[in-house]
Amino acid sequence: MDDFRNKTGGSFDFRGFGGGGSIRKAGKLVAIIIVIMILLVIVSGSFYSIREEEQAVVCTFGVPKAVTQPGLHFKIPLIQTVQKVNTTIQGFAIGYSSDSELNYNGAEGADNSMMITADYNFIHVDFYAEYRVTDPVKALYASEDPQLILANIAQNCIRTTIGSYGVDAVLTTGKNEIQSNIKNMILEKLDAIDIGIQLVNITIQDAEPPTDEVITAFKSVETAKQGKETALNNANKYRNEQIPSAEADADKIVQDAEADKQARINEAEGQVARFNSMYEEYVKYPAVTKQRMFYETMEEVLPDMKIIIQGADGSSVQQIMPLDKFN
């Protein structure tokens, strides 16, 4: 052992076997890998893509800027941050729960659908609102939850509008007008606060009274109104069918009257001409004409009567002369 120590200079040196160099090489390799990974992270964080239905908001040192063009975009790593906003039409329910859509019914749930009308009737009305983001920067930074603000505005406008209509209008004939008034009111309030979203449409999903008895009564009313409309339509159809026929009958009656009038005029003119002719004969031969007129009149008044004429010489011989011989 002493001889081995003497030969090695009194101590054993492992550097001659290359152990220290391997450790240093391994450390350099690990450092290179870490640098490459960092570079990969930086490079991968330098690009982002925007789809057709999205817009992005790039924030640089706290200053946001909207990026609306779809495709691949560059950003400065660790300095700029990107938030994407869905710009498609989205919706939520008001007054009822929807598992597939966002809804803001609050802790009361379906109780939000209970409203009071102008004639002091309670009614359940369910709505569905559709909206889209128009300004992604304002949608992200102008308010904490723009959808919730829209839902609250919508509930306020709905209750205000429903409270100005009677229950009959809400259940039957006034739905389209109510929806239009609510939409216009919401749009005015959204324009005033300008939170980056816009209402697309709001519709009444369902409207019904709160009790079964009232529901049955209103259904009966609705059935009666539909029956009324059907009766009116049938009456109008019958009227439209009968008016042309009546007009045709009226035209025929007028034409017949005109024809009868012309026939009477012609007959009267003929009678006048005959009278004038007889008068001319009367002026020429008054006695003969008078006697002939007497016989013709008697023929018309007593067509079956026979006249016996005594002889002119006063004899007792009688001659029977039928009146038809004088024609």
pLDDT, tens digit (0-9, with 9 covering 90-100), for 118-170:
888 888 889 999 999 999 999 999 888 999 999 999 999 999 999 999 888 88
Contacts of range 70-78, beta carbons closer than 8 Å, 24 or more positions apart: 72/47, 72/48, 73/47, 73/48, 73/49, 74/46, 74/47, 75/45, 75/46, 75/47, 75/48, 76/46, 77/42, 77/43, 77/45, 77/46, 78/42, 78/45
Give the domain extent around 56: 46-86
The pLDDT confidence band at residue 101, using thresholds 50, 70 and 90, is very low
Cα separation values, 266 from 260, 261, 269, Å:
10, 9, 5
Q: Of residues 1 and 254, which shows the higher confidence score?
A: 254
Looking at the structure, tell me whether residues 106 and 132 fall in a common domain. Answer: yes
Does 177 map to a domain? yes
Does 304 map to a domain? yes
Q: Of residues 165 and 104, which shows the higher confidence score?
A: 165
Residue range 39-87, pLDDT digits in tens = 666 666 677 788 888 888 888 887 888 887 887 877 777 788 888 888 8
pTM of the model: 0.53
Looking at the structure, tell me whether residues 225 and 306 fall in a common domain. Answer: no
Q: Of residues 309 and 316, which shows the higher confidence score?
A: 309
Q: Which span out of 94-103, 164-173, 183-192 was modeled with the highest average pLDDT?
A: 183-192
Mean pLDDT of the chain: 78
Looking at the structure, tell me whether residues 201 and 226 fall in a common domain. Answer: no
Which residues partner with 318 through β-bridges? 310
Looking at the structure, tell me whether residues 223 and 294 fall in a common domain. Answer: no
Does 247 map to a domain? yes
Number of structural domains (the chain) is 4
Pair of tokens at residue 149: 């603000």
Residue 186 has pLDDT above 50, yes or no: yes
CA dist 160 and 125 (Å) reads: 13
**Mean pLDDT for the stretch of residues 79-107:** 72
Q: Of residues 42 and 224, which shows the higher confidence score?
A: 224
Looking at the structure, tell me whether residues 141 and 232 fall in a common domain. Answer: no
Does 6 map to a domain? no
Q: What is the pLDDT of residue 327?
A: 44
Pair of tokens at residue 4: 């081995």
CA dist 120 and 307 (Å) reads: 100
Would you say 273 and 297 are in contact if contact means Cβ atoms under 8 Å apart? no
Residue 300 has pLDDT above 50, yes or no: yes
